[in-house]
Structure 1
Amino acid sequence: MADIINDSIFGQWETKVFTGINISMDLSRDSKEDNNTNPHTPAYGSLVPIGVQVLMYIMYIAISLAAIGGNGIVCYIVLSDPRMRTVTNFFIVNLAVGDILMAVLCIPFTFVVNLILGQWPFGAVFCVIFTYAQAVSVFVSAYTLITISIDRYIAIIKPLRPRMTKLQAKLLILAVWLVALLTPLPTAIVSKLVPQNDTEGYRCTEDWSTPIQRYYYSMALMLLQYFLPLIVLIFTYTRIAIVVWGKQTPGEAENIRDQRLAASKRKMIKMMITCVTAFTLCWLPLNTLLVAGDHNPSIYYFPHIEYIWFACHWLAMSHACCNPFIYCWMNSKYRAGFARVFHFICCMPLRQHPDNPLHSFVASTDYRQSQSTRRGQALTNNGHCRAQPRKVHV
């Protein structure tokens, strides 16, 4: 194993574990010249065209902005509305915070180092901070999904048990962060700057004593970050689905309230199953590539492997912006919250300028709508089903 996984394999391909590997590639050099002098240099094939690099820039910037904006709105919707401050929504906010951390630390710096600079220019301290923070953010997202599934599991499978309180939810969130901070601690210890071959630059990598240590730590971290959460999520939501969509007990009657509660549970479970599915599909290609590469490092020498890696890495990073779209699509309360935020953003410049000719129209329209709403509410409160004719006094 030690002979197969040797240090030369990481000359151009730098391994850094945060559920994925961060491969530092020099896209601006022609591989033919390197292949004639160094048999261990990966065979990139042809130079990556400028147009493809520009497309990659746009793709990474798009998911980064969407993740920060979408998850920021999710946090605002929950924290600004007291009715939205439920246990499940607290977990969703924690999931959004983990995705924001991913979007701020993982996506931009991986993008800048791999696509623009080809080296690590941010110094030794930031090398440790960002490498460690990347691992923490993935753990927060994965284990928050587990806490949500366990909360739903207890509420549906064992309805007679007391529901989780908000204080207990906050303590569980604190435990998630504690586990997320402690588990990848070896990443912070071994991460350091290493000089690149034949250049004056440095690469940020994990400097292990032996390659076999790197391999086992990579496998352990991947198991804890992806496969273990996936197993727990599949088990819990399978049991929940059997109960929620299972057969009704013969002779059991349901009133309208029970039907409404059951429909609400099914909607919430559908939304969370969709989130788990997005997590599984987004991270599966990259983790498959990592497992295959750890067992057979020669695949990193395949022609055009850089395209495959970027596609898998971009898909994994795009998970940070998936959940807000799922909430907006499948939950009416979040959809209404997003609508309020976008309405405020779009209408704020108009309402801040009274001299705008459209301002008087908008103000008068809002006034008429509010007056109409008040009249309708007054009629409803008086018990009238429709407007009464006005009496004419002679």
Structure 2
Amino acid sequence: MAELGGNALVTAVVAVNEHMRSVTNMFIAQIALGDIIMLLLAMPFDIISKHVYEDWSFGTVLCRSMSFCKDYSLTITILTLTVMSIDRCFILSRELRTYSIRTMKMFFIVAIILQLLSVSAAIPATIFSGVWRESTHTHSNDSAANASIRVCKLNDGSPNLLRVSLSRILLLYVLPLVIISISFTKINAFLRLTEAQVLLSENKKIVSACKRALHLLITLVGLYTALLLPTVMDIIVSFFIRGGSLYDNKWYSLCEFLVDTTLYAICVYKPVVYSIMSANFRRGFRELTCCSSHNLGKSRIECNDDESTLDTNEIWFNSDGSESSVQHDVGDRV
């Protein structure tokens, strides 16, 4: 329940506090909502069936719903992080900054597109998921007896299994991380430019916001990459190694437990990261948990002390609001 409460707090902080409703924080709230869906509608059924009852007894509808919630939550998380990375790259480019997400209207348009893409990406696994019986071996009176358990998983016998498995790996892992890596590479190249150093020296508060936001984003992406890797490996292994004999293998059961643990840890680490790396979120958490009007007023006064989730769309402007005189080709060289 702690992980569910953490994501609920993240969503509530952004919803309740007006000064927290920046584009970046709205994206963070969208990720938190996806995590809540997985924690409520997928994790309990998955953990109980695999590691408590060792049998799926919730029916086909809940099996497919669980598959949908898993892929939807993972897709909305990685697509949102991808868009945030691209947006940071656009913000740092003079020529492309007009395409950055600078208003709530643009955010809602992008958010709707991401929701539609996430729902579409979750449909294939939902269709091919089902409850299947897998044979196991039980030992009674020194003799082996055949038994079977019900398992919620993708249909091993489907000719489209390879296509579905590859599409999940590409959409949830490979393609987004390639795009994010390219964005971070371009951002790093820009920050190393001499012209960029001159520009950023004129906008000390904005450069601080850029660095904090990038550190937060890199941390979120890095942890997602590491925690989802066991699931990706499990998808690959499950495709090449099939058969019910795996289900009574203690080492396979241990690996499955570790895979599930790291998968659902994706929904847990983000509120912890926000609380560690963002003073604004820490203050927001205190406001909601302590319900102190004194702290509320104080935090609003001090909210500018931390810019880890501050929008940085004004990087091409001087502190007085005038446009920077740095050469226009800086943006082209990002």
Distance 1:280 1:254, change over 3 A: closer
Does the aligned pair in 2 maintain the 1:88–1:151 contact within 8 Å? no
SS of the residue corresponding to residue 119 of structure 1 reads coil
**CA drift at 1:80:** 0.9
Of residues 47, 58, 67, the one that matches 1:131 is 67
SS of the residue corresponding to residue 151 of structure 2 reads strand
Does the aligned pair in 2 maintain the 1:142–1:225 contact within 8 Å? yes
SS of the residue corresponding to residue 249 of structure 1 reads helix
Per the alignment, residue 19 of structure 2 pairs with 83
The TM-score normalised by the length of structure 1 is: 0.64
Per the alignment, residue 203 of structure 1 pairs with 151
Per the alignment, residue 45 of structure 2 pairs with 109
Per the alignment, residue 272 of structure 1 pairs with 217
1:283 aligns with 2:204: no
Task: Write the distance in 1 (CA, Å) between the matches of 2:212 and 2:234.
Answer: 34
Task: Write the distance in 1 (CA, Å) between the matches of 2:125 and 2:242.
Answer: 21
1:249 aligns with 2:195: yes
Per the alignment, residue 48 of structure 1 pairs with none
Per the alignment, residue 122 of structure 2 pairs with 184
Per the alignment, residue 278 of structure 2 pairs with 331
Q: For each residue in 1:170-219, what CA deviation from the matched residue of structure 2 results, as whole angstroms up to 9, or x when unmatched?
A: 111111111111123233323333345466864333336x4542123112
The 5 Å alignment of 1:43-82 reads: 65-82=1-18
Query: In terms of mean alpha carbon deviation, does 119-128 or 260-269 score higher?
Result: 119-128
Per the alignment, residue 227 of structure 1 pairs with 174
**CA drift at 1:303:** 5.9
Task: Write the distance in 1 (CA, Å) between the matches of 2:45 and 2:21.
Answer: 33
Task: Write the distance in 1 (CA, Å) between the matches of 2:270 and 2:240.
Answer: 32
Per the alignment, residue 194 of structure 1 pairs with 132
Task: Write the distance in 1 (CA, Å) between the matches of 2:131 and 2:236.
Answer: 25
Distance 1:240 1:71, change over 3 A: same
Task: Write the distance in 2 (CA, Å) between the matches of 1:335 and 1:112.
Answer: 33
**CA drift at 1:251:** 9.4
Of residues 256, 259, 266, the one that matches 1:312 is 259
Identify, as 1 or 2, the structure richer in strand: 2
Of residues 111, 116, 137, the one that matches 1:173 is 111
Task: Write the distance in 2 (CA, Å) between the matches of 1:200 and 1:314.
Answer: 25
Does the aligned pair in 1 maintain the 2:56–2:151 contact within 8 Å? yes
Query: In terms of mean alpha carbon deviation, does 171-180 or 151-160 score higher?
Result: 151-160
Distance 1:250 1:289, change over 3 A: closer
| Counterpart code for 1:169 | F
**CA drift at 1:338:** 1.7
Distance 1:278 1:122, change over 3 A: same
Does the aligned pair in 2 maintain the 1:79–1:85 contact within 8 Å? yes
**CA drift at 1:242:** 3.0
Per the alignment, residue 294 of structure 1 pairs with 239
Gaps of 5+ in 2: 136-145, 299-334
Per the alignment, residue 153 of structure 1 pairs with 89
**CA drift at 1:101:** 1.2
Of residues 17, 21, 35, the one that matches 1:99 is 35
Task: Write the distance in 1 (CA, Å) between the matches of 2:220 and 2:105.
Answer: 25
**CA drift at 1:118:** 1.6
Task: Write the distance in 2 (CA, Å) between the matches of 1:66 and 1:141.
Answer: 19
Does the aligned pair in 1 maintain the 2:125–2:164 contact within 8 Å? no
User: Over aligned residues, Cα RMSD in angstroms?
Assistant: 2.9
**CA drift at 1:300:** 5.0
Q: For each residue in 1:223-269, what CA deviation from the matched residue of structure 2 results, as whole angstroms up to 9, or x when unmatched?
A: 1111111111111122223323x2443994766x6112111111111
SS of the residue corresponding to residue 195 of structure 2 reads coil
Asked which structure has the greater RCO (Cα within 8 Å, sep 6+), the reply is 2
Does the aligned pair in 2 maintain the 1:193–1:202 contact within 8 Å? yes
* Higher alpha-carbon Rg: 1
Task: Write the distance in 2 (CA, Å) between the matches of 1:144 and 1:204.
Answer: 28
Distance 1:218 1:123, change over 3 A: same
Task: Write the distance in 1 (CA, Å) between the matches of 2:164 and 2:198.
Answer: 53
| Counterpart code for 1:290 | I
Gaps of 5+ in 1: 1-64, 349-365, 371-394
**CA drift at 1:342:** 3.1
Does the aligned pair in 2 maintain the 1:195–1:201 contact within 8 Å? yes
